[in-house]
Amino acid sequence: MDGWINFLIAGIFLLGLFIFGYASYKKKIHKKKYVSIIEVVLVVVFIIFLVRGFIDLFM
């Protein structure tokens, strides 16, 4: 069941990325440097948990 928990955490980070991206686009702050750093961190954490979920589920 640990793989499903990793998928759930990855989904939460993906949802957070979509919400943060939409809010930054609406507020016109998406060209600032710190916004891109936060988005990169969210994507990296999403990929890490997605890969961990696949490894735990299929290995």
**Whole-angstrom distance, CA of residue 47 vs CA of residue 23:** 22
Please give the pLDDT value at position 35: 72
Task: Give the model confidence (pLDDT) of 6-47 as tens digits.
Answer: 888 888 888 888 888 788 777 777 666 777 788 888 888 888
Buried b / exposed e across 35-58, counting CB within 10 Å, b at 16+?
Answer: beebeeebeebbeebbebbeeeee
Task: Give the model confidence (pLDDT) of 40-59 as tens digits.
Answer: 888 888 889 888 888 888 88
Scanning 1-59, the segments in alpha helix (DSSP H) are: 2-26, 33-58
Spell out the domain ranges in the chain: 2-58
Please give the pLDDT value at position 34: 73
**Whole-angstrom distance, CA of residue 19 vs CA of residue 22:** 5
